[in-house]
Amino acid sequence: MIVPPALYLPIVPGSDNQQIAVVRTLVDGRRGLLAYTALDRLADKCGNEQPWMLVMTSELGRLKQEQPFDVVAFDIDVPAPMRQGARLA
């Protein structure tokens, strides 16, 4: 897979009203950072009201220090039960 220079990451409110990237436990138990290679894919797979941030791929190491994850989960479809309306729950 060719990884683009920037990724769209869905965000959710964290502590102190800080926005944090979404890291979810995957079916194999690993922690996956949800990342989308295009904004339309994020909207299609997470919901069209999903807040997001743009991150340079080169910054993933820094993000991993702040929010530990095992893998980057590219362009995955988030099932409807894990959504609240048109965004992630």
Q: At 60, which amino acid appears? A: L
Q: Supply the pTM of this predicted model.
A: 0.91
Instruction: State how far the Cα of 54 lies from the Cα of 77, in Å rounded to an integer.
Output: 19
Per-residue pLDDT of the chain (89 residues; tens, 9 = 90+): 788 999 999 999 888 888 899 999 988 999 999 999 999 999 999 999 999 999 999 999 999 999 999 999 999 999 889 899 899 98
* Dihedral over Cα of 58, 67, 30, 87: its sign: negative
